[in-house]
Chains A and B, each alone.
Chain A
Amino acid sequence: MNDLLTDKAAPGRGVMKLYLISGLVVVGLLLLAGLAMRASQAGWLPLPADGFYSLLTLHGAGMIVAMMVCAMGAIWFLTRQQVKMSAKLAVAAWALIMVGVVGVLVATLVGRYGSLYTFLYPLPFRGTWPNWSTGVFLIGLVFVNAGWMIWCCQMLAGVLRAHGGYRGALGWDYVWHSKSFAASERHPPPPESFPAFMVGLDGLIAGMAATLLGVALVVRWIDPQVQIDPLWAKNLTYFWAHTVANLIIYMLAGVIYVALPFATRREYHVSKVFVVAWWTSMTLTLTNYFHHLYMDFAQPEILQYVGQLSSYLSALPVTVVTVFGALMLVWRSGMRWTLGALFFYLGMLGWVVGGIGAEIDASVPFNVHLHNTLWVPAHFHTYLLGGCLLFVLGWVFLLLESRAASTTRKSMSWLISILMFGGMLVFLLSFYVSGAYGVPRRYSIEPAPGPVLSQVAAIGAAVMIVGMLLAGIEAWRLWRSRADLQEGAKEVIHG
C-alpha cells in the first residue's frame, strides 16, 4: 500500500480527485460564509436576520456534505485498491449529491430558507421564507441522501466481495477462531477496510432513517394537513446528522491507516484489539446521538443514560487504538515533517481535543449548562475543522508531495503553520470561552460577552483563512512541479 501514493496508475484516482476537488471548493466557499457570520456577530458586517440564518443553514448543511464528499473520495480510492468497483456508479452518486447541493444553494441564497441544517419539525413550515424554498431545500437533501446511500451500497458490496462476506470483512474468524484462521494461512482485512465496512453499513442505516424523515417532510410540504410527531422527527434528524458527522471522521481514520505508514515508513498492523475496537465503534456510533436530546425531558429517560454511557465508551476505540496506534507509528520513526505529515498529526490532536469537549458536553449534568451554547460548535469545529479538514488537506499534500520534484520551503511551512494553526486556535478558543459563559449558539445578535469574543473569533478565522490560502498556493506549486519519475519523488518525500 505504501506505493499507492506514488503510483500514478493506481485505479480510482480520477474518482477520488473529483470528490476531493469538489468537496474542497465547497469547503473553501463556506469558510468565507463562516467568517462573514462571525464578523456579523462581532458587529463588523451588517447582515439582516434572514441573511444571517440562510447563511448559517448553508454553512451547516454545506460543510457536513462537503466534508463527507471529501472523505468519501479518499476511502473509496483506498477500497478500490482491494476490489474492482464501478467508477461510473461512484460518479453517479457524486452527481446526485451535487444536484442536492445546488438545491440547498438555491433554497438558501435565493429563497432565504433558514431553518438550519437541523430543520426541526415543524419549523421548516413556520418560517418567514417562501414555501417553495422549503420544498427545494428538503428535496435537495433527499438527493444528497440518495447519492450517499448508493455510494454506501457500493462500498459495502465492495468490502464484502473483497473479504469474503460479513465474517471475513468483520474479521470474525480472525478474532474468535484464531488458530484455525492462522492455520489456513488467511489474513485479516487491511486496517482501512474496517472504516470502509463501517461507513457502508452504518451509513446505510442512517440513510434509511433520513429517507423516512425526508419522505415524511416532503409529504407534509405537499399536504399541510399531514401531521408529524416532533420528537420522532427530532430523533431521526439527529440519528442521521450525528451518524454521518461521525462517519466522516471514521472514513478519514481509514486514510490515517495508509497515510501515516507512508510518512513513517512503518506498517499499521491489524490485531484482535484493533478489530474489536472497530466493532465497538460500529455499534456505539448508532447510539451516541441520544446526547443531542438530553434537554428533551419528554424523551424516554433510559435513552438519556444510554446516550451518555455510549458517548463515553466511544472514546475508547479512538484513543486506545487508532490515535494511540498512530502515535506508536510516529514514535522514533524519523518521520520528516512535511506539510502533509504535519496536517495529519495535528488533525489527530484536533480529533482528541474536540473529543474532550464533546465528552464534557455529552455528560448530562454539564449539558444542562452547555446545551445549545457556543460550546457545541466549539467542540465540533475542533474535530471537523481541526481534525477532519486537516486529514483531508494532509492527504492531498501527501499525494502532491509524493510526486513533486521539490519540497515546500521551510520558511513557507512555518508561515502556513503559524497562520493556520494560530488563527484556528484563537477562533476555537473564543467559541469555548463563549460557551463556558453560556453565550447561546445561533444568535445573530449575541448577549455579552458574545460580541467581544466574536471579534476575537473573526480575527482568528481571517488569519486562519489566509494560512489556508497560502497552503492552497503551495499545493498548486507542488502540483505544477510534480515529478515524472516516481522513484525520484519517493526520494524527495523520504529524504
Chain B
Amino acid sequence: MDAAEKLLIAFFVLSAFIALVFFIVARSTRLPVQPQAEASRFGYAIRGRWFIFLLLGLLGTFLASLPFFPYMRTASALQPALRVPVEAWQFLFIMPDHFPVNQRIIFEVKTPDVTHGFGIYAPDGQLLAQTQAMPDYVNYLDVTFHTSGRYFVRCLEFCGMGHPIMQKEITVGEAATASGRSSLAALDSNGVVTHE
C-alpha cells in the first residue's frame, strides 16, 4: 500500500465515522419525539467527553508531528551536505539533472521573476518534497534520495500561462550518466553550480 492509499483510507475512515453519526441522528427523527430537556441532558453528557477526547487527540497529534517538520535547524544546516542552487524562471528550472543516491542534498531555491513552487516527484509519482521559490528570498530544502530512478521537478505555485509545462526530469543513481556526470562536475566544493 503506497502513501497515497494510506492517506485516502485514513481520510475515508474518519469521514465515514462522521457520516455514520449523522446517519444515526437523522434516523432518530423517526423515533418518538423526545422532550428537548431530556435530549439535551443526554447530549451534554456525551459532549464533555467528546471535547476532552478531541482536545487530547489534537494536542497529541500536534506534538507527534513536530519531529517531521521540514524546516532546517542551524545545527542541521552545518552538517555535511551537497548544496545545490536552483533557479526557477518562468517557465524552467536551472539546476543539475543528476544526483547521487543516499547523499544529503540541500537545494537552495531562488527565483528572479515571480513566485514558483519547487516540488520533487519520486519515480512512483508521489510528491516527495517541496518548497516555494520566492523573489528576494532563498528557501532551503533538505532532501536525501534513497531510491535510484527518474524523478520530476514540477512548479507547484501558479506562475503564469506556462505553469503546467514548467517541469524538469532529473535522475538519481549510483553511477552518473554522461549528462549527469557533466552536471555534477559543475558543482564545486561549495556547491556552487555553473549552468550548462
- Residues of chain A touching chain B, judged by Cβ–Cβ distance below 8 Å, are 49-50, 53, 114-116, 118, 120, 122-123, 126-128, 229-231, 234, 266-267, 269, 295-298, 301, 304-305, 308-309, 312-313, 315-316, 319-320, 324-325, 327-335, 337, 345, 348-349, 352-353, 356-357, 360, 363-366, 368-373, 432-433, 436-438, 440, 442-448
Complex Cα spacing A297 to B51, Å: 33
Q: A369-B3, A433-B8 are in contact. Are A438 and B125 (CB under 8 A)?
A: yes
Q: Which residues of B contact A349 (CB under 8 A)?
A: 18-19, 22
27 sampled A-B residue pairs with Cβ under 8 A = A53-B161, A118-B158, A120-B114, A122-B114, A126-B113, A126-B160, A297-B70, A297-B72, A297-B139, A298-B139, A305-B66, A316-B58, A327-B25, A331-B28, A331-B42, A337-B26, A353-B15, A356-B11, A363-B65, A364-B65, A368-B129, A369-B127, A432-B11, A444-B163, A445-B164, A447-B154, A448-B125
Q: Which residue of B lies closest to A372 (CB)?
A: B156
Q: Are B54 and A319 in contact (CB under 8 A)?
A: yes
* B8 touching A356, Cβ below 8 Å: no
Question: Given the interface contacts A50-B161, A123-B160, A320-B51, does A365 sit within 8 Å of B68 by beta carbon?
Answer: yes
Q: CA separation between A194 and B59, bound complex, in Å?
A: 26
Is B158 a contact of A116 with CB atoms below 8 Å?
yes
Residues of chain A lying within 8 A (CB to CB) of residue B51: 316, 320
9 shortest A-B CB distances, which residue pairs?
Answer: A365-B68, A328-B43, A438-B127, A332-B34, A298-B137, A443-B164, A436-B4, A334-B33, A372-B156
- The chain A residue with its CB closest to the CB of B90 is A126
Residues of A with C-beta under 8 A to B78? none
In the complex, the answer to whether A295 meets B130 with C-beta atoms within 8 Å is yes
Residues of chain B lying within 8 A (CB to CB) of residue A337:
26, 29
> A296 CA to B71 CA in the complex, in Å?
10
Partner of A331, one of B43, B65, B135, B159: B43
Minimal Cβ-Cβ distance residue in B for A49: B161
Residues on B with beta carbons closer than 8 Å to the beta carbon of A365: 65, 68-70
B161→A332 contact, CB < 8 A = no
Known: A332-B39, A372-B156. 9 other contacts (CB 8 A): A230-B115, A269-B40, A297-B141, A312-B61, A313-B58, A329-B36, A360-B11, A369-B127, A371-B130
Best-surrounded residue of A231, A312, A332 (most CB of chain B within 10 A): A332
Segment 18-71 of B: residues with Cβ below 8 Å from A? 18-19, 21-22, 25-26, 28-29, 31-34, 36, 39-40, 42-43, 47, 50-51, 54-55, 58-59, 61-62, 65-66, 68-71
Q: Which residues of A have CB within 8 Å of B11?
A: 356-357, 360, 432, 436
CB pair A304–B50 under 8 Å, yes or no, is no
- B156's nearest neighbour on chain A, judged by CB, is A372
Tell me which residues across on chain B come within 8 A of A329, comparing CB atoms: 36
* A397 vs chain B, min Cβ distance (A): 17
Inside 8 A of A114's CB, which chain B residues have their CB? 161
Pick the residue among A229, A308, A325, A437 that contacts B65 (CB under 8 A).
A308
Nearest CB of A to B126, in Å: 6
The answer to whether B135 and A122 touch across the interface, beta carbons within 8 angstroms, is yes
- What is the chain A residue whose CB lies nearest that of B162? A49
User: What is the minimal beta-carbon distance from A26 to any residue of chain B, in angstroms?
Assistant: 23
Q: Does B92 contact A (CB under 8 A)?
A: no
Distance between B188 CB and nearest chain A CB, rounded to angstroms: 24
Residue B136 lies at the interface, judged by CB distance under 8 Å to chain A: yes
Which residues from A are CB-within-8-Å of B140? 297
From A334, which residue of chain B is reached at the shortest CB distance?
B33
Chain B min CB distance to A410 (Å): 15
Q: Among A115, A120, A267, A335, find the residue whose CB has the most chain B CB atoms closer than 10 A.
A: A120
* A437–B55 CB distance below 8 A: no
Interface assignment of B121: CB less than 8 Å from any CB of chain A:
yes
Docked CA distance A445–B161 (Å): 11
A109 CA to B154 CA, complexed, in Å: 28
List the A residue with the shortest CB-CB distance to B34: A332
Knowing A312-B62, A328-B40, say if A333 contacts B113 (CB, 8 Å). no
Indicate if the CB atoms of A315 and B54 lie closer than 8 Å: yes
Q: In the complex, which residues of chain B have a beta carbon less than 8 angstroms from the beta carbon of A316?
A: 51, 54-55, 58
Decide yes or no whether B132 CB sits under 8 A from chain A.
yes
CA–CA, A349 to B59, complex, Å?
Answer: 24
Q: Which residues of A contact B40 (CB under 8 A)?
A: 269, 328
Q: Report B-chain residues with C-beta under 8 Å of the C-beta of A327.
A: 21-22, 25, 43
Task: Let me know if B14 is at the binding interface, CB within 8 A.
Answer: yes
B101 within 8 A of A: no
Query: Are B126 and A230 closer than 8 Å at their CB atoms?
Result: no
Distance in angstroms from B94 CB to nearest chain A CB is 18
B55: min CB distance to chain A, Å: 6
Task: A329 to B36: give the CA distance in the assembly, Å.
Answer: 8
Complex contacts, A352 vs chain B, CB 8 Å:
18
Instruction: Assess the A309–B31 pair: CB atoms within 8 A.
Output: no
Residue of B115, B131, B137 ringed by the most chain A CB atoms within 10 A: B115
A445 to B165, CA, bound (A): 8
Contact A230 B137 (CB under 8 A): yes
A residues within 8 A CB of B138? 298
- Residue among B130, B154, B163, B165 making CB contact with A368, cutoff 8 Å: B130
Determine whether B176 belongs to the interface, using a CB cutoff of 8 Å to chain A: no
- Does B75 reach chain A (CB closer than 8 Å)? no
Which one, A308, A334, A363, contacts B29 given CB within 8 A? Answer: A334
**CB atoms of A356 and B18 under 8 A apart:** yes
Q: Does B134 contact A (CB under 8 A)?
A: yes
- Minimum CB distance partner of B130 in chain A: A295
Q: Is there contact, CB below 8 Å, between A320 and B54? A: yes
Q: Name the residue on A nearest B50 (C-beta).
A: A320
Measured CA separation A223–B42 after assembly (Å): 64
CA distance A327 to B61 in the complex (A): 26
